[in-house]
């Protein structure tokens, strides 16, 4: 049986979509093939790697990618935008997906304040994404 491809999309592909990709791979890599991309990729946020390492999920093999890398090349069963900007600005000509969903999740790259404060907030965002992905997988298993 072929795995269903899932693409998580955000603006920079630096944090939220990277975490969602890693969680989906970890939770349901036998059923889903996880991908992530950004409309304007910026590289992976260092806090993203750090908070994922804290829970034993290594994202060293992941890189920040542009939606252009996939447009017209792969068909995705699901396109899940994880920020309002990506949801609003995703090119409508990108027709390589079956279902589209939107999860509005706060942007760790936009956090301000001392590093420890940003790190703590990034952990909260990570845990929110973990829960969303887990619930999504459970909902698709029924």
Of all residues in the chain, the percent with pLDDT exceeding 70 is: 96
- State residue 72's pLDDT score: 82
How many other CB atoms are found less than 10 A from the CB of residue 82? Answer: 28
70-80, pLDDT tens digit by residue? Answer: 888 889 999 99
Active site residues: 10, 83, 90
Angle at 83 (CA atoms; ends 14, 55), nearest 5 degrees = 50
Cα 137–chain centre separation = 14
How many other CB atoms are found less than 10 A from the CB of residue 102? Answer: 16
- State residue 94's pLDDT score: 63
Of all residues in the chain, the percent with pLDDT exceeding 90 is: 73
**All domains of the chain in start order, with CATH:** 4-134 (3.40.50.2300)
Task: Report the C-alpha gap between 122 and 114 in whole angstroms.
Answer: 12
CB within 8 A of 29, min separation 6: which ones?
none
Burial 31-67 (b: 16+ CB within 10 A, else e): ebbbbbbbbebeebbebbbebbeeeebebeebebbeb
- Structure-block tokens of residue 93: 């000509």
Length of the chain measured in residues:
142
Average pLDDT over residues 53-58: 96
pTM: 0.93
110, 47 in Cβ contact below 8 A?
Answer: no
Whether residue 96 is predicted with pLDDT greater than 90 in this model: the reply is: no
């Amino acid at each position: 049986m072929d795995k269903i491809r899932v693409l998580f999309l955000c603006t920079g592909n630096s944090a939220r979509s990277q975490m969602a990709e890693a969680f989906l791979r970890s939770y349901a890599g036998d059923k889903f093939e996880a991908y992530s991309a950004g409309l304007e990729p910026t590289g992976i946020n260092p806090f993203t790697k750090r908070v994922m390492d804290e829970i034993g999920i290594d994202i060293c093999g992941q890189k920040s990618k542009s939606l252009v890398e996939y447009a017209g090349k792969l068909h995705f069963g699901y396109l899940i935008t994880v920020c309002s900007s990506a949801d609003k600005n995703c090119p409508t000509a990108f027709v390589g997906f079956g279902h589209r969903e939107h999860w509005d999740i706060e942007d760790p790259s936009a956090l301000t304040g001392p590093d420890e404060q940003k790190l703590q907030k990034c952990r909260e965002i990570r845990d929110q994404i973990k829960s969303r992905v887990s619930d999504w997988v459970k909902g698709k298993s029924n």
